[in-house]
Amino acid sequence: MATASVQKGTDPAGSHVATDSFTEDAVTKHAQRVGVCNAVGKNLSAASSASGPSAISVGAGANGTQLFAANTSRVGFLIHNASAVAIFIGFNATGLTISNGIKIFSGGSFAQQGIGLYQGVIHGIVASATADVRVQEW
């Protein structure tokens, strides 16, 4: 194991910062605890409730098929195109077409997490017929 020490520091106000203690090579050490938050203060490093993976049949109808409902607790999501045709996704409840959507090629995936994460409704659409899509959010 490493023998470098991590010292307990102070914030500008002079109080101790939050640390986790651990013992390494018979020496007690402290590591600063850090949380990563988005612009509205949501802790992005905290565990969230994850949905299980789902298979969705995406159609070519007006506005396509809803892949995810709006979810203010969402900290990440994954969309995988398991079909032989391209799909197009959009971050809005209405107006999605194959002309303005984000293209995901056959076998491709799109994921988003962390700062700037979109938490609104997500739809998918195809040019014709249907596509097999796998989705999961956490």
Question: What residue ranges define each of the domains in the chain, with the CATH number in brackets?
Answer: 1-34 (no CATH), 54-137 (2.60.120.770)
**Predicted pLDDT at 2:** 46
| CA atoms of 127 and 33, how far apart (whole Å) | 48
**Predicted pLDDT at 62:** 85
Q: What angle do CA 57, 63, 69 make, to 5 degrees?
A: 70
Segments in the chain below pLDDT 70: 1-21, 30-50
Widest Cα–Cα separation across the chain: 66
**Predicted pLDDT at 7:** 47
**Predicted pLDDT at 5:** 43
Structural element, H or E, at residue 80: strand 76-81
